[in-house]
Amino acid sequence: MLTGLRSSVLFLTVVGSVFGQSAELSGLVKDPSGGVVANARVEVRNEETGARRQESTNQDGFYSFPSLNPGTYEATVQADKFRTLTRDAIV
């Protein structure tokens, strides 16, 4: 549960590759106290092609982007009352 205004979002990412032909980017979005952030907007952008995909976290703060092309991605998470956070991920 979110209470009060938070200054940041912790963005934890798990990266895995499947058979070298496609990749998956998934993880959890948590606040600084360790609480999960439901309904956060997560976007990934392939830095080579510019292709973008968006998902929202579920009630447990989990998100998943299956079937990505392997490469370097910029992952951005946004949630109400939190600052936007961007991280690079190689999958």
48-81 per-position pLDDT tens digit = 999 999 999 999 999 999 999 988 999 999 999 8
Q: Identify any residues that bridge with 12 across adjacent strands, giving them in sequence order.
A: 28
Q: Is the pLDDT of residue 4 over 60?
A: no
The more confidently predicted of residues 59 and 10 is 59
Question: What is the arithmetic mean of pLDDT over 41-50?
Answer: 95
If you ran DSSP here, which 8-state letter would residue 4 be given? Answer: S
What are the domain boundaries of the chain?
10-90
| Rounded Cα gap, residues 80 and 89, in angstroms | 23
Q: Is the pLDDT of residue 17 over 90?
A: no
Fold of 10-90: Immunoglobulin-like (2.60.40)
Class of residue 7 by CB neighbours under 10 A (exposed 0-12, middle 13-18, buried 19+): exposed
pTM of model > 0.95: no
65 phi and psi angles, rounded to 5 deg: -120, 90
